[in-house]
Structure 1
Amino acid sequence: MVSVANVSDLSLVSVANVFDLSLVSVAILFDLSLVSVANVSDLSLVSVANVFDLSLVSVANVFDFSLVSVANVFDIGLVSVAIMVDISLVSVANVFDISLVSVAIVFDLSL
């Protein structure tokens, strides 16, 4: 199916639609990571998260990177990440192994 997609100049999204498959199924069939699917399908990781009904935390786990990397990839602050993944700044401090003072400095907050 990969060859068919290449020869016919079809995207994996088109292949998924033709065969009534989800992108997850396509990824599994083609032995691709979700990152590869995102790249091939010209989707952002946010779109992938939405399509697969995953939280950004799940995406971070699947792709084996930290929430800091997620924040960087999406060009959003750690506060936004905390809000999006429904965790407190205390949790953020714990995840990143930093003190709340550091968190306050990063976020320009007063304690």
Structure 2
Amino acid sequence: MNYKPKKIIKHREAKKLFQILIQELEKENNLNDRTLMIVDNIVLLEQLKQEHMDDIKDRGVVELFKNGTQEMFRENKSVDKILKIVEQQRKLQAELKLTPASEKKVTEAVTVDEFEAF
């Protein structure tokens, strides 16, 4: 079946991420309505992240802030928001079992050292 991102998704990077996630979930045979909902959320977060990155490109990491006669530099709030978005995306990817950590399988038996045997 051919899946497409929601119409609200306009950014090229977000659309590309949608296709990558759909391909991975199809490969794992884990594509259903619930996982598609999570993919939509990840892609929406990606679009927001790209918009914040564009803001940082325009205004920089710090911005000049004027309050009456006071002038000071303050951190662009988009920087902090990108970090929060990335963390939320990682959590959603972990739910879909699409993180490198979720690929690791515990195959080794737990060894008992001499102290625990005592």
TM-score by length of 2: 0.20
Name the larger-Rg structure: 2
Q: TM-score, normalised by structure 1?
A: 0.21
Of structures 1 and 2, the one with the larger relative CO (CA 8 A, separation 6+) is: 2
